[in-house]
A = this chain, B = another copy of it.
């Protein structure tokens, strides 16, 4: 039987608010077994950009990353957010190591081709070095991954944190029994968006088709669940969509 490993992805909102960050660090530290944390940091990047007079442009929820914005996200994601999370976990006895994709070449990507939109210095992941990450994890290290990768030619690339979490989970699935947890503002995928009690406890490829067809699941949740199902099909044991303050607890939506 493979050893259990949990990959937790938290958005910027959680790690950028002192009270929710403290809670997250405590909850994450208490998670049993091997683990990896992937974080965002978009709000702080937007705030810093404003203070520096750099305009933030979002298209379809994605940040357009020109050279100035790349400097900002490198500072915020790779520096401010990542190192404070690492120091906070160390204070709780978790042997955290902050990583971007460039560090030990753990995640290589290529700059997204220009289509209708030129997203600038945004990376699409080519490969995650599961061997290297597995060796670190086996050595008791807890990787804390910032949403930055590199192209292998010296350029850092802003990369979606959900994608990093998903690709990392897949790359570790051969060696570990991987649970991928996406933290979210709701208690799970809701059957009724106005009712926090209407969490759908389990979604499979089969049930997803029905939920999508009858409109129970729609909008931004469709690609999130589709990506989760693909992660499961690629060997991840299960994906859990839950609230950040409920990681490690039963509940949420389990996709398997």
A residues neighboring B (CB under 8 Å)? 48, 51-53, 71, 74-80, 82-84, 86-88, 90-91, 95-98, 100, 102-105, 135, 139, 141, 148, 150, 152-156
Q: Is the CB of A156 within 8 A of B103?
A: no
Pick from A74, A87, A97, A98 the residue with the most CB of B within 10 Å: A87
How many angstroms from the CA of A97 to the CA of B148 in the assembled complex? 14
**8 extra interface residue pairs, beta carbon distance < 8 Å, beyond A75-B76, A79-B79, A86-B102:** A51-B52, A74-B83, A76-B79, A78-B80, A79-B82, A87-B102, A90-B105, A96-B103
Task: Tell me the number of copies of this protein.
Answer: 2
**Interface majority SS on A: helix, strand, loop or mixed?**
helix
Q: Is the CB of A150 within 8 A of B52?
A: no
Partner of A90, one of B52, B53, B154: B154
Partner of A152, one of B83, B91, B102: B91
How many angstroms from the CA of A156 to the CA of B80 in the assembled complex? 10
Q: Is the CB of A87 within 8 A of B52?
A: no
Interfacial chain B residues near A155, Cβ < 8 Å: 87
How many angstroms from the CA of A84 to the CA of B103 in the assembled complex? 10
Q: Is the CB of B90 within 8 A of A97?
A: no
Q: From residue A193, how far is it (CB to closest CB) to chain B in Å?
A: 37
Interfacial chain B residues near A152, Cβ < 8 Å: 90-91
Q: Is the CB of A83 within 8 A of B87?
A: no
Closest B residue to A25 by CB, please name it: B154
How many angstroms from the CA of A104 to the CA of B98 in the assembled complex? 8
Interfacial chain B residues near A52, Cβ < 8 Å: 48, 51-52
How many angstroms from the CA of A98 to the CA of B148 in the assembled complex? 13
Closest B residue to A157 by CB, please name it: B87
Q: From residue A151, how far is it (CB to closest CB) to chain B in Å?
A: 8
Q: From residue A29, how far is it (CB to closest CB) to chain B in Å?
A: 12
How many angstroms from the CA of A78 to the CA of B148 in the assembled complex? 14
Q: From residue A42, how far is it (CB to closest CB) to chain B in Å?
A: 15
